[in-house]
Structure 1
Amino acid sequence: MKQICHLEEIFPPEYYHEIPGYDSRIAIRKMLDVLSSLGDASIALTFSNIDEYEEDSVETQIIRRTHLRHALIDLNNSFDLLLQIPWFYYRIGLGENSSIERNIDGWVEKLESECKIWKVRNFLLREASDCKQKILGEKITDFKNSYMYCDSKPFTVRSVANDMKHRSTIKLKEFDSHLKLKIDGLEQIEELTRLKQNQIKKEFVMDFYDSDSPLESIGKIEINGVENGLINIKYNNGEEFRGKDYAYTEESFSFDDIYGEAIDFYDNFLELFDCIYHNIYLEIPQSPVMNKRNAKKTSETLNVDKWYKC
């Protein structure tokens, strides 16, 4: 995992000056927000790594899942925050069709809510005349196609983060439960995930009965090993309840799958931020009344293991 770049070089907005036609200090604020989100993500990714733990126990997996969940949310947020840097700096959202007026209380919040990736890309790639802007637009497009919306991948950081936003969960193979069946009075434990991986199509079908009429079947229960043990319930009157309708996803992924994708996202995102630094940050002048060279950022080495590990 790469180290966050330019962390010590970007100071609070009051250390910078404004240029007519741009909103420099808001862009600086957004850069700091990105770095803050990345810092949180880097901590979460560190403690998502199995190498940080002495053993791979159930407790360790629970802790790692918690950190991995936070890492994905922070990484996903970092990209949205990064888009707001050119959005505000170049005043992309304040075009001819905008009803938002600058310097009116609340205008920044309104403009934040209108920031969309396609608007940023359209401006940088089609409307901007500066080659630096086009380079940035190409970098954002490449990153989006590789790490945000990529049909060739089974999942992306964005897709998993969206799943968590709507379903508040992250599905990992390590937490797949085994289905315990009782058939003809005998208890059998079938590892249905293993059956699917080995392409063994094993299906169980059994009748279920009304408690008041135990001899009269009122429907069937189908358990399909090919579908990770999803249970379909079919009543004889024709009403059907499919297992796939309550399942969040058809496929779960391992810690290594998602952690590896998150690390790739993180490392390549740092390169994208580096492009922001060179194409926007270095264009912003220093404030004539504040001398950032005399400002000192102090940091202490902290051992946070006791807070983030069991």
Structure 2
Amino acid sequence: MNRTEVPFDFSFPDNYMEIKGHDVRLAVSKLHDFSDTLGLLASYSLMYAGEEEYSHFKSLDEIKIKCLKRIYLNNAILWYSNCFDILLQSIWFMDRIWQYYNDGGTLLKDYHKLRNRNGKDFVDIKRNIDGWVQLAEHNCEYGKIQKYLRAYHKKSEVLKELKKFYNKYIKFSSGTKPNIRMLANQIKHNSSLKLKEFETKTTFNLKTDNPMANKILKKNENIIVKFNQVFYNKDAPEEKGKITLSYDKDILVDIKYDNAEGEEFRGQDLLQIVFSIEEIENELNNYHNDIIELYYIIKESFMDNITILPSIKLQENKSDSITIHQPELIPYLEDEEESKK
């Protein structure tokens, strides 16, 4: 699948002018960071997770190639997930959305999830004090931005496309296909990326006292098997509980104690959602193209506020004129002596 070319539309934020009521350069810096992260980190990680990148490495065996792909796929998921957060922060700063959730802000009252790490009811952000930018970044959330856009820009293209992208790639799904945000959170908080290519299926031999059943088991590899095994306390003959082994696509072991205080331990709680490298690659390719479309919509909504800093547009500078003189050519001493001859 072809990936859309990553846009690099903005130079360094210091080259842009600020306007009252917005933080233009902070917003531009986020768009600049978006392109940098998407183009130089996420895209390259995804590229090196591709099958064709290792065809010329004759010395690498199949396991080593799979391990390399797993590493790059882990990186790609994390960087692509980060790209969405950076885009959110561009909107957050351009319209100073954080101020609507400050003490006395118009959106604070109806929003009940404003809790920082210290458990305070809200975070009161004040501009131009040390650390305010980092505090604002920390408190940027999709839910807050969506609530702001609904209240003040209800019919905007940004609200519509942001919600569409969120529902498709960010909102946690049932697990029938890879979800980039869910995979990123799994990598960051739970465990490394689980892939079908690294799965090892449980195999076992099963034989019963029934000759007909043995024939069926031998012929049909896809048959579902389930049986119970009683377990006992080694010092007492009474039954303590049951172990249930079942096999469908893989083995599950359930352990249940019989007494009133006994507990049940389900085998399915150990299962994790697993996808193939190709499945995740395809989803990341779609994510790549769609997040660039979202970027262009957000960028377009900013354009009325983004202008180049007047001091670097010399041809439009109406202050003191600047005259640049061509430097005088000073001949070498030997040249002067040569001319006197």
- Asked if these proteins are the same fold (TM beyond 0.5), I'd say yes
Residue identity matched to 1:90: D
Q: How does 1:225-244 map to 2 (within 5 A)?
A: 225-226=247-248, 228-235=250-257, 237=259, 238-244=262-268
| Contact 1:44–1:68 (CA under 8 A) maintained in structure 2 | yes
Say yes or no: does 1:169 pair with 2:195: no
1:83 aligned to 64, 88, 92, which one?
Answer: 88
Q: How far apart are the structure 2 equivalents of 1:5 and 1:59?
A: 30
Task: Name the amino acid aligned to 1:245.
Answer: D
Structure 1 residues 21 and 253: CA distance shift in structure 2, 3 A: same
Percent identity at matched positions? 32
- Alignment gaps of 5+ in structure 1: 185-193, 294-310
Question: What letter matches 1:269 in structure 2?
Answer: I
Please give the per-residue CA displacement for 1:269-290, whole angstroms capped at 9, x wherever unaligned: 1111121222215631111223
Q: For 1:109-148, what aligned pairs fall within 5 Å after superposition?
A: 109-128=134-153, 134-148=156-170
Q: Is the Cα–Cα contact under 8 Å of residues 222 and 231 in structure 1 kept in the other structure?
A: yes
Which deviates the most, 138-147 or 277-286? 277-286
Report the CA distance shift for 1:153/1:272 in structure 2 as closer, same or farther (over 3 A): farther
For 1:3 and 1:135, the matched residues in 2 are separated by 21
**Aligned-partner Cα distance in 2 for 1:149–1:109:** 25
Q: Which has the larger radius of gyration?
A: 2
- SS of structure 1 residue aligned to 2:256: strand
Equivalent position of 1:23 in the other structure: 23
Q: Look up the SS of the partner of 1:224 in the other structure.
A: strand
Q: Give distance in 1, aligned partners of 2:268 and 2:86.
A: 35
The higher relative CO (CA closer than 8 Å, separation ≥ 6) is in 1
1:215-273 deviation per Cα after TM superposition (whole angstroms, max 9, x unaligned): 997654333213631222334554432222333x2x32211211111111111111111
Q: Does 1:12 align with 2:12?
A: yes
Structure 1 position 67, deviation (Å): 0.8
Residue of structure 2 equivalent to 1:201: 224
User: What SS does the corresponding residue of 1:100 show, helix, strand or coil?
Assistant: coil
Instruction: Name the structure 1 match of 2:269.
Output: 245
Q: Please tell me the residue identity of whatever aligns with 1:93.
A: W
Report how far residue 292 of structure 1 moved: 11
1:221 has 2:243 as partner? yes
AA at the equivalent of 1:47: Y
Q: Deviations over 1:17-57 (max 9, x none)?
A: 10111100111111122122213110111011112222881
Match for residue 64 of structure 2 among 59, 63, 69: 59
Q: In 1, are the aligned partners of 2:4 and 2:288 still within 8 Å (CA)? A: no
Structure 2 residue identity aligned to 1:66? I
Decide whether the 8 Å contact of 1:28 with 1:281 is kept in 2.
no
One-letter amino acid of the counterpart of residue 125, structure 1:
R
State the AA in 2 paired with 1:173: K
Per-residue deviation, 1:110 = 1.6
Structure 2 unaligned spans of 5+: 106-122, 208-219, 316-341
Does 1:46 find its partner at 2:47? yes
Root-mean-square deviation (CA, aligned residues, Å) is 3.1
Cα distance in structure 2, aligned partners of 1:16 and 1:78: 22
Structure 2 counterpart SS, 1:270: helix
Q: Aligned partners of 1:18 and 1:60: how far apart in 2? A: 49
Give the whole-Å Cα distance in 1 for the aligned partners of 2:12 and 2:92: 19
Q: 2: distance between equivalents of 1:60 and 1:226? A: 30
- Is the Cα–Cα contact under 8 Å of residues 174 and 254 in structure 1 kept in the other structure? yes
In 2: Cα distance, 1:254 partner to 1:72 partner: 14
Check whether the contact 1:31–1:85 (CA below 8 A) recurs between aligned residues.
yes
Query: Which of 299, 313, 338 lines up with 1:277 in the alignment?
Result: 299
Structure holding more strand per residue: 1
Residue 200 of structure 2 aligns to a residue in which SS?
coil
AA paired with 1:118? G
Partner amino acid, structure 1, of 2:52: D
Task: Determine if contact 2:49/2:69 at 8 Å carries over to the other structure.
Answer: yes
Kept in 1, the 8 Å contact 2:88–2:140? The answer is yes
Q: Is the 8 A contact 2:245 2:251 kept in 1?
A: yes
Match of residue 99 from structure 2: 94
1:156 aligns with 2:161: no
Alignment-mate amino acid for residue 146 of structure 2: R
